[in-house]
Amino acid sequence: MKAIFYVTIFTLALLFSCEKTASATSPDYYGDGEVVVESTESYESPLSSSLASYQDSVRKFKKTGELKFQVQNVYQSTKNIETKISKLKGFVTKSHLNTSVLDSKIIPINRDSANKVRKTMVNAEIRCKVPQHRLAEFLLSLESEIEFLNYRNLDAEELTFDFELSKLQTKNNDEITQKIDTSLKKGGKLPDEVNAINELKQLKSEKSYSSVAKSKLIDEVKMSEILLYIYENEKVTQSTIPNVEVYNDYRESFMYSMKENISLGYYMFLDFLLLLSHLWLFIIIGISLYFGIKYYKSSKKIK
């Protein structure tokens, strides 16, 4: 009886020890009964970036980006992306969709039909412009389309000093233009007036170019240009087509061939007669020469 009691105590102690060891070696156990659970709230999209969301009231930036990613269906994703761009008050400047045939085989089924099997890959290139203050929002909206992200490249070029330079150039041109106008109003020698007018024309032309350059800078800061390369998995398509290889073995019936050959021979004979009709003069001359030579030879033998 005592032996049974000791065996029972020993078994219970062994089970308790194994359970404690297993709990201690569990990946979620860190002692003192603490269990660590991974939080999903710490997830951050690979499309997010402080560069995209950064805004500065003083500094001016030109922001551009380039992304390449895999989608489930290129055509559908292209439509979805263009819709997202439109909703953000942006616009598309390039949308190219292309299907590449990687391999193609024709497998005969019977004498009349064959299976054409093609391995294809569809890809698209989209260039768009979106408002810079909504660039981060646009990038995050692409996440619903992405199956696999190859790369996401974003760049920011500071144009603050370009704006300052444009401002100074405009100011200098205005001052010089005003001085020339004042000088022309006062009058002077003709050569001097001609030079002043030519210089004024040049300054106005430079002012026009400077105005366009400034508008371009404003647009580059206001709208961010993004280039997207999207593709999908390779697909195998199959279609039934006529078995063109049978064409090489095809022969027309004997009666049909005989009829065609007789008809062809008849028309060739007519063509020959037409040829003779064109050469009638040469034929008459040839016949005359033949009989003339024959007559000459026979008369010579008689003598």
Residue 12 confidence (pLDDT): 53
d(CA 125, CA 130): 16
Residue 86 confidence (pLDDT): 93
Residue 42 confidence (pLDDT): 54
Cβ of 290: how many Cβ atoms within 10 Å? 10
Question: Mind listing the pLDDT tens digit for each residue in 218-245?
Answer: 888 889 999 999 999 998 888 888 877 6
With contact defined as beta carbons under 8 Å apart, do 260 and 254 qualify? Answer: no
Q: Select from 91, 93, 96, 84 the least CA-distant residue to 140.
A: 84
The CA-atom distances, in angstroms, between 106 and each of 94, 171, 182, 243, 246 are 36, 72, 84, 9, 13
Residue 164 confidence (pLDDT): 76
b/e for 115-126, b at 16 or more Cβ within 10 A?
Answer: eeebeeebbbbb
Which residues have a Cβ under 8 Å from the Cβ of 237 and sit 6 or more positions away? 117, 118, 120
In sign, the C-alpha dihedral spanning 38, 41, 45, 49 is: negative
Q: How is residue 7 written in tokens?
A: 């065996």
Q: How is residue 150 written in tokens?
A: 């190859």
b/e for 163-196, b at 16 or more Cβ within 10 A?
Answer: eeebeebeeebeeebeebeeeeeeeeeeeeeeeb
Residue 91 confidence (pLDDT): 94
Residue 35 confidence (pLDDT): 42
Residue 30 confidence (pLDDT): 39
In sign, the C-alpha dihedral spanning 166, 168, 170, 173 is: negative
Residue 37 confidence (pLDDT): 43
Residue 61 confidence (pLDDT): 85
* This model's pTM is above 0.75: no
Number of H helices, E strands in the chain: 8, 6
Residue 107 confidence (pLDDT): 81
Residue 94 confidence (pLDDT): 94
Which residue ranges in the chain fall short of pLDDT 50?
Answer: 1, 5, 7, 20-40, 190
